[in-house]
């Protein structure tokens, strides 16, 4: 039995059944033992999963182009902050900064010298790996351990596959809405159903969701607190969220009657969060309607939302391919790039949402992606 499982069992024995949300939080973030908090955590092809920046460096180049465009429509402030949370090993930052530095050296743009990049990272081992990865840009990047350490800024708060790792409420309709709790049968972890809190009931009412008998799903209530924390740190700027997920109507459709909760262990997917405790990732898709609705409560205007593939094409990925490879790119490189925007790759499963806090929204008419990000 792992030490983390022992800790979970001890907590249940002393306090009684714990919510699945608390169980998931312990599995992922318990100090030194949780999946994201332990020293041996690996993200990327060497780990249990990889994200768009691991697929190809052009992803970072595209986001560099986006940051430069945001800086422009904000009136080219002398300092433009990019804050990244959930930065993994630092590939996205490296590729973005590398692209912008090359553009600066060519005399094409003057954004790079205005850019200050901050990574929010709590795990000291991952932070050290990020610092090694970003040695070339040590004068451009700094680290903090939480959002609270940030001063009010102008710029962009960037995350790629972050909210999907927030602990979720696990819900099942059984005559009435019930929340899944984790209890014990000897040393075995077992599920028990308990009446939902008012908070959970309100969540489903907010989005007009009525679940049929036997329907099992998730509710990510942590997103609201996260958006509130971010909004307090912006005098003006953007929240740029990339993740896999759906609108509320798609998330809670009949075809997803068992929810979206998945686990990843040694490159293999499973649906059992009660095994490999502390050794596997646990994730759930994002309800993007909640980002829009709750963001508006904190003064964040949704500028647009669309699939990653649509977004990259409208942002000009074909132009960046020519910038990087000329007129005759390597076919192997092109195959990897297609994985970022074709529907059978990450082009449809991953969505992009951009929100804005500030006074002047007329500037956004010039955004290259604006006409492609219409629906939510």
Look at the alpha carbons of 226, 227, 228, 232 in this order and tell me if their dihedral is positive or negative.
positive
pLDDT of residue 19: 98
Question: Which structure tokens are listed for 79?
Answer: 């300092």
CA distance 94 to 11: 41
pLDDT of residue 325: 74
CA distance 320 to 131: 27
Q: Within 10 A of 136 (CB to CB), how many other CB atoms are there?
A: 12
Its CATH architecture, for the domain 1-34+161-299, is 3-Layer(aba) Sandwich (3.40)
DSSP structure string for 101-156: HHHHHTTS---GGGEEEEEE---HHHHHHHHHHTGGGTTTEEEESSGGGPPPEEEE
Q: Locate the domains of the chain by residue range.
A: 1-34+161-299
pTM (predicted TM-score): 0.90
CA distance 254 to 163: 23
pLDDT of residue 335: 74
Cα dist from 181 to 10, 17, 189, 191, 273, whole Å: 15, 6, 10, 6, 13
φ, ψ for residue 123 (rounded to 5)?
-75, 115
pLDDT of residue 56: 63
Tens of pLDDT, residue by residue, the chain (376 residues): 899 999 999 999 999 999 999 999 999 999 999 999 988 666 554 544 556 666 667 889 999 999 999 999 999 999 999 999 999 999 999 999 999 998 765 655 689 999 999 999 999 999 999 999 999 999 999 999 999 999 999 999 999 999 999 999 999 999 899 999 999 999 999 999 999 999 999 999 999 999 999 999 999 999 999 999 999 998 899 999 999 999 999 999 999 999 999 999 988 999 999 999 999 999 999 999 999 999 999 999 999 999 999 999 998 888 877 877 777 766 667 777 777 777 777 777 899 999 999 876 545 555 554 444 544 4
CA distance 119 to 69: 21
């Amino acid at each position: 039995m792992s030490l983390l499982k022992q800790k979970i069992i001890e907590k249940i024995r002393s306090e009684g059944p714990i919510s699945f949300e608390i169980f998931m939080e312990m599995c992922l973030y318990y100090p030194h033992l949780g999946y994201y908090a332990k020293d041996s955590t690996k993200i990327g092809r060497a780990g249990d999963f990889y994200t768009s920046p691991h697929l190809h460096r052009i992803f970072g180049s595209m986001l560099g182009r986006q940051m430069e465009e945001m800086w422009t429509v904000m009136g080219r402030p002398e300092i433009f902050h990019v804050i990244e949370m959930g930065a993994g090993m630092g590939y996205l930052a490296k590729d973005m900064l590398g692209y912008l530095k090359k553009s600066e050296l060519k005399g094409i743009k003057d954004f790079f010298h205005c850019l200050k990049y901050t990574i929010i990272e709590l795990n000291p081992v991952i932070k050290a790996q990020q610092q090694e990865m970003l040695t070339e840009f040590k004068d451009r990047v700094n680290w903090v351990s939480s959002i609270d350490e940030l001063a009010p800024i102008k710029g962009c708060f960037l995350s790629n596959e972050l909210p999907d790792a927030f602990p979720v409420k696990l819900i099942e309709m059984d005559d009435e809405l019930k929340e899944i709790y984790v209890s014990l049968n000897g040393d075995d972890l077992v599920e028990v159903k308990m009446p939902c809190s008012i908070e959970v009931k309100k969540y489903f009412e907010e989005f007009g969701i009525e679940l049929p008998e036997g329907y099992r799903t998730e509710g990510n209530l942590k997103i609201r607190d996260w958006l509130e924390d971010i909004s307090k740190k912006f005098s003006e700027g953007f929240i740029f969220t990339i993740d896999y997920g759906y609108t509320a109507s798609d998330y809670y459709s009949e075809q997803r009657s068992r929810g979206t909760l998945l686990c990843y262990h040694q490159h293999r997917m499973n649906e059992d969060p009660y095994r490999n405790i502390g050794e596997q990732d646990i994730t759930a898709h994002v309800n993007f309607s909640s980002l829009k609705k709750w963001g508006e409560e904190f003064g964040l205007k949704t500028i647009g939302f669309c699939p990653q593939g649509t977004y990259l094409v409208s942002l000009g990925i074909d132009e960046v391919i020519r910038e990087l490879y000329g007129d005759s790119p390597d076919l192997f490189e092109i195959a990897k790039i297609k994985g970022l925007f074709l529907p059978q790759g990450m082009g449809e499963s991953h969505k992009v949402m951009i929100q804005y806090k500030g006074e002047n929204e007329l500037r956004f008419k010039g955004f290259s992606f604006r006409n492609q990000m219409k629906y939510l």
